[in-house]
Structure 1
Amino acid sequence: MIANFLLLVIISLINESIEEKVHYIFPEFPYKESNKNEVMLREVEAACEKGCYGRNGVSKVLCIRQCVSPSCYRDLYQGDLLEEGEVDVRLNSFKGCFIQRYNRSRP
C-alpha cells in the first residue's frame, strides 16, 4: 500500500517536471535574411573576431556579438548570458537588431 502511494507521488512529480516548460522572453527584432544583410554581418563579425582572439566557445561568441553591436548585445544577452551548449534562439533577433540599428545610423 505504501509502495503504491510512493509510486503515485513519484509519477506525479515526474509529470509536473515534464510539463514545466521554460519560456524565455526577450525583445524580438524581425530579420530578413538576404545576401546583403548576411555579407554585411559577416564582415563586421570577422573584424570583431580579431579582437576576441584567444577566447573559445560561448565566451568568443558573446565577445563577437558585443563588439558587433553593444546596444543589441545589451538588449538581448546581458541580462541572461548564453550558456555553453544552449541553442541560441536569440540569434535572429540579434541580427534583426543589428541591421535595424545599422540602417538607422546611415545618412
Structure 2
Amino acid sequence: MLRMASSLALLLNLGLYDSCFSEKTGITFTFKEYQYKDSPKNEMTFREFETACEQSSACNQISGLPRTRCVRECVSPSCYREIYSSDPLEEGEIDVRLNSFKGCFVQRSGRTRN
C-alpha cells in the first residue's frame, strides 16, 4: 500500500498522472468552458442565487451530492444542462467545472461585474 501511494505521489509530482490515467482509460474529459472573473460582486451575485436555491422547497430537504446538483440546476438550469448533464458530478469528484458554471451563470444572467 505504501509503495502504491509513493508511486502515485511521484507521478503527481512529475505531472504524469493525468497522461498515464487517460492513456489507460482512453477517456478524455471535456466540457464547455466559460470565463469567470472572480470578483467580490460576481461572487456575491452567485452566492445570492445559490442561497435562495439552497432554501428552496426543491433543494432544502436533501443533502450531500444530490443537494449540490439540485442547487446548481436551480441557480441556472441552462448552464447546468450544458456543463453537467452529460457527465453529472460524482461523489468525491473535484469539481473543476464550477468556475465555468459560474461564468455561464454570470454571462446569462446579464450581471457581469468587475
Q: TM-score, normalised by structure 1?
A: 0.77
Where in structure 1 do 4 or more consecutive aligned residues deviate above 6 Å? none
Does 2:6 match 1:28? no
Q: How many angstroms does 1:84 deviate by?
A: 0.7
Instruction: Report the equivalent of 1:7.
Output: none
Q: Which residues in structure 2 correspond to 1:3-42 (within 5 Å)?
A: 19-21=20-22, 22-42=27-47
* Bigger radius of gyration among the two: 1
Q: 2:80 aligned to 60, 73, 80, which one?
A: 73
SS state at 2:71 partner? helix
Q: Which whole-Å CA distance do the structure 2 matches of 1:23 and 1:93 have between them?
A: 18
Q: Which whole-Å CA distance do the structure 1 matches of 2:75 and 2:69 have between them?
A: 10
Q: TM-score, normalised by structure 2?
A: 0.72
Moved more, 52-61 or 89-98: 52-61
Instruction: Report the equivalent of 1:4.
Output: none
Q: How many angstroms does 1:23 deviate by?
A: 2.7
Q: Which whole-Å CA distance do the structure 1 matches of 2:109 and 2:51 have between them?
A: 17
Does 2:78 match 1:90? no
As a proportion of its length, which structure holds more helix? 1
Q: How many angstroms does 1:72 deviate by?
A: 0.1
SS state at 1:20 partner? helix
CA RMSD of aligned residues (A): 1.4
Q: How many angstroms does 1:58 deviate by?
A: 1.1
Q: Which whole-Å CA distance do the structure 1 matches of 2:73 and 2:103 have between them?
A: 15
Q: How many angstroms does 1:56 deviate by?
A: 1.2
Amino acid at match of 2:107: Q
* Number of residues of Structure 1 aligned to a counterpart in Structure 2: 87
Q: Which whole-Å CA distance do the structure 2 matches of 1:41 and 1:19 have between them?
A: 36
